[in-house]
Structure 1
């Protein structure tokens, strides 16, 4: 049975999943890689879109809407070039919030915002660049990173614009590299989950005394994750946040694996 038929059967047939325990290990490894890649597609799309939008919107936003600043002792300080004391709006209006569709830019030299505040302000599938008091915080596609101004070599707004220009030039290289790293992490995570589900099945079958080895439980777990994986992928494409999504996926996978084990003929178990 080819990989597409196995995928289709894995969505609704625990009985077929039980028969897949006799497949070659190599076939299951290929299946995990393909399944992870399919799950990775929405994350890759939204991450790439967010980054490209950030690069397109960023130049005009940084130049025109982010005030001049310097970094003193590692902290962001807004330049006040006005001699009129009534023009203190650059400080009073902090933090500054700029919304460009799914991209959000924040500037806050006052220390009012922190990373959690930024995460709470944006949608689950939105991206944000936040110039916080002591660091730059970037989040996109569920991945977040904070970097200090000193680490980036930023001492003023001109340094930021220069860094932005360099990043724009390198975007065709670093975006694929970032996506590759994310995929490898997702792949490792999938293998780890399959191993845990295989262990669960091994325990259910009496640590092999039921005639089903850990290898066979691992093979069944490989296909038992399919339904939950597809549900997660569809929700990510639709940008719908499912409450307790991880717990739901866990329960669904365990139920499918349990039903697959239950469907193994008793005589097959007794053969060993």
Structure 2
């Protein structure tokens, strides 16, 4: 059975999940990367769409509504008496040289772009990226930034691709940790059920046991629906599926002498 069929099967069949324990670890690792890819797609899509929308909104707002400013020696100077906050579509543009706003405040707004005292921050669907002005090692005015954002249109596909790749690799790393922790729970389950399987087999079963909850949250993320207590629900489903899968393994009876 190929990994795509395994993906479908492991959503609904603990019995078949239990049978996957005999396959090689390489195929299971491939499955985990596939599952990580599937789980990344909704977040990557919404992040990319929001980022593109945010950059376009920023260009319009920057050119027409923001006061003059200058970034020099790693600091922002604004021709304004205080922070400037402008809503453009679903994005909020913030210009602040007073230190009133930080990364946390920008992140809390979900979709926002901040030219702050010492750094540039962009939050898209809760995903935050920040860059210190000191890394630029140059002086930038409002007019020069307008020209720079025009040039970014050509680089945006590359930037998005890199960010999505980073998101995928980070998601895969977290998924491997999640499966390993679940496999430790599996050791306790298999001992309580008196099933003779080793840690490798438990890890393989654990990998497939994460499918149901992962696919559920992929659907919820696609619909942009927040699930209360999502972490607890995820682990509850993981452990239940793992328990049912291990339970399907035949118990080896000791021969009576």
Normalised by the length of structure 2, the TM-score is 0.87
Which residue is equivalent to 1:116? 104
Paired residue total? 253
Which residue is equivalent to 1:5? 5
Q: How does 1:121-136 map to 2 (within 5 A)?
A: 121-122=109-110, 127-136=111-120
Secondary structure of the residue aligned to 1:137 is: strand
Which residue is equivalent to 1:177? 162
Match of 1:261 among 238, 246, 251: 246
Match of 2:130 among 146, 158, 164: 146
Deviations 1:195-236 (A, max 9, x none): 2212221243349x8411011101101110001101111111
Which residue is equivalent to 1:86? none
Residue 214 and residue 175 in structure 1: after superposition, are their counterparts in 2 closer, same or farther (change >3 A)?
same
Which residue is equivalent to 1:158? 143
Is the Cα contact below 8 Å between 1:9 and 1:16 reproduced in 2? yes
Question: How far 1:148 sits from its partner (Å)?
Answer: 2.1
Residue 40 and residue 254 in structure 1: after superposition, are their counterparts in 2 closer, same or farther (change >3 A)?
same
Answer yes or no: is 1:96 the counterpart of 2:85.
Answer: yes
Secondary structure of the residue aligned to 2:12 is: coil
Question: How far 1:270 sits from its partner (Å)?
Answer: 5.8
Which residue is equivalent to 1:45? 45
Q: How does 1:188-267 map to 2 (within 5 A)?
A: 188-206=173-191, 210-267=195-252
Secondary structure of the residue aligned to 2:224 is: coil
Is the Cα contact below 8 Å between 1:95 and 1:109 reproduced in 2? no
Secondary structure of the residue aligned to 1:105 is: strand
CA distance in 1 between counterparts of 2:181 and 2:53 reads 38
Structure 2 unaligned spans of 5+: none
CA distance in 1 between counterparts of 2:113 and 2:39 reads 26
Aligned-residue Cα RMSD (Å) equals 2.4
Is the Cα contact below 8 Å between 1:43 and 1:236 reproduced in 2? yes
Structure 1 unaligned spans of 5+: 80-89
Question: How far 1:39 sits from its partner (Å)?
Answer: 0.9
Is the Cα contact below 8 Å between 2:195 and 2:249 reproduced in 1? no
Match of 2:95 among 88, 107, 110: 107
